[in-house]
Amino acid sequence: MYSCKKCPGYCCSYPLIALERRDVERLARHFALPYDVAERKFTRTAWGRKWTMRRKADKHYGRICQFFDTEKRCCTIYKARPSVCRSFPGEGRCGYYDFLMFERRAQNDPAFVALTNHS
């Protein structure tokens, strides 16, 4: 199987991390904020969706989820993470993890991260 703890956060770099109202409510509770404050602080309207996760700069992918620790390469809100994150990758294997492990073996480097950002 795969281990998210060994991944540099491929899925967290998606341009669209779609949220539902219950995800915003969960974030509001997690941070002890009123719903409307959490909505303004953590979401934006994009891609035809009312709520999407705000993003921040990342050295590997250009942009990544605002709650991703870019030094430790892990989620900082794991217990309060959105539904889409809770269900990823679904049943079976994580293709990103398979790709990561292939590249690390090919490069003979256990910490190698293939860059997807060419800027």
Distance CA 55, CA 58 (A): 9
| Cα 36 to chain centroid, rounded | 23
> What separation in angstroms does the CA of 109 have from each of 16, 96, 100?
30, 17, 11
Please tell me the distance from the alpha carbon of residue 115 to that of residue 91, in angstroms, as a whole number: 26
- Residue 115 has a pLDDT of 66
Distance between CA atoms of residues 43 and 100, nearest Å? 29
pTM listed for this prediction: 0.80
> Which stretches within 20-109 are classed as H helix?
21-30, 35-42, 83-87, 95-107
Chain segment 12-37, per-residue pLDDT in tens: 998 999 999 999 999 999 999 999 99
Residue keyed to tokens 């979401």: 43
Tens digits of residue pLDDT in 36-74: 999 999 999 999 999 999 999 998 889 999 999 999 989
Q: Could you tell me which residue, 60 or 81, shows the higher pLDDT?
A: 81
Residue 11: band (very low, low, confident or very high) from pLDDT cuts 50, 70, 90: confident
Any idea where the domains of the chain sit in the sequence?
A: 13-88
